[in-house]
A = this chain, B = another copy of it.
Amino acid sequence: MNREFKQELASRAKEIEDYLESCLQFEGVPGELQQAMEYSLMAGGKRVRPVLCLAWGEMTGACTKDILPFASGLEMIHTYSLVHDDLPAMDNDDLRRGKPTSHKKFGEALAILAGDGLLTQAFAMMLKTSFPAENVLAAAGTVAQAAGPAGMVGGQCIDMRATGRESMELVDLKGMHAMKTGALLRAACCSGAILAGSDPENGRDTLNAYNYGSNIGLAFQIVDDILDVTGDEKSLGKPVGSDESVNKSTYPRFLGLEKSRELAQTAADEAKTCLRDYQGQGRDFLYRLAQYIVDRAS
């Protein structure tokens, strides 16, 4: 089952990548900026955020082909955040997915600009999605909130403040991750449902998507922390034990490995219960995705 699921995940990711490639030739963009944006955007990755958006849209009644521009915007936002997080003034990382980070390859100035360009272009893409204007507006607004100072950017800020200080409580660690990685994963799910017509505040599908996204976000982060201790450097594409070496607050540090694994499984199970009202291929995929996040080795 795991192999079959991985194939489906890869084929869904491929759909996103093909679309990203087709729309990457932005007219009037300076060559080196284009190159730097493309380098990071096409550097692989599981494309989890756009895949989530498409699957939630599919499951709640939207035509997935029409969601592609919006979903691609989500991947651009995720990519920009990686490029800026890697900068010398931030996490100062040399490698990302086994390749030199943007600033190592293109220099700091261009890495900053590539990130800014990806973030701005993401909104240009999302706003061009062919759905009723109200739906697009609400979905893009949800993403902007999630990616902004009270979401992803704020989470990175708290993470920066905490690194090396060992002062974070478990509840703060959870809160930080809910902002840094959880918010955009959640918004990816919700925006799919909102595009399909669910009310952005109180729609049943939006609420289910919100809870599903929160729980897989939590599971994802716990497993990330576990893999940093137990993982294999080659399949991770980054050094093992890097959290430990910078004295970073992680789930295994607070709870130990076994309890961390239990917590991740509980979150995945919670996510699955959010799918009980649905059926079809999209639902089956999302169900297995929740488990895959716990079982993955990289």
Q: Give chain A's interface residues, CB within 8 Å of chain B.
A: 26-30, 32-34, 37, 80, 84, 87, 89-90, 107-110, 112-113, 115-117, 119-121, 123-124, 127-128, 132-134, 136-137, 140-141, 144-145, 147-150, 152-154, 156-158, 160-161, 179
Contacts and interface: CB of A to CB of B under 8 A. Distances in A.
Contacts of A132: 133
30 contacts: A26-B148, A26-B150, A28-B154, A30-B157, A30-B158, A30-B161, A32-B161, A33-B153, A33-B157, A34-B149, A84-B112, A84-B113, A84-B116, A87-B112, A89-B107, A89-B108, A112-B112, A115-B116, A116-B116, A117-B149, A119-B119, A120-B144, A120-B152, A121-B144, A123-B144, A124-B148, A127-B140, A127-B144, A132-B133, A133-B133
Contacts of A120: 119, 144, 147-149, 152-153
B117 A154 contact: yes
A254 B32 CA distance: 26
Contacts of A123: 123, 140-141, 144
Q: What are the 7 tightest A-B residue pairs by CB atom distance, in nearest-first order?
A: A89-B108, A133-B133, A117-B149, A120-B148, A124-B144, A28-B150, A127-B141
A113 to B, nearest CB: 5
A268 to B, nearest CB: 26
A88 B174 CA distance: 33
A190 B90 CA distance: 37
A68 to B, nearest CB: 17
B154 A30 contact: yes
A263 B216 CA distance: 59
B145 A124 contact: yes
A79 to B, nearest CB: 13
Contacts of A117: 148-149, 153-154
A245 to B, nearest CB: 19
Given A30-B154, A133-B136, A140-B140, 4 more contacts: A30-B157, A33-B157, A116-B119, A117-B149
A150 B120 CA distance: 10
Contact of A89 (B27, B112, B137, B148): B112
A157 B110 contact: yes
B32 A157 contact: yes
Nearest to A80: B116
Contacts of A28: 150, 154, 179
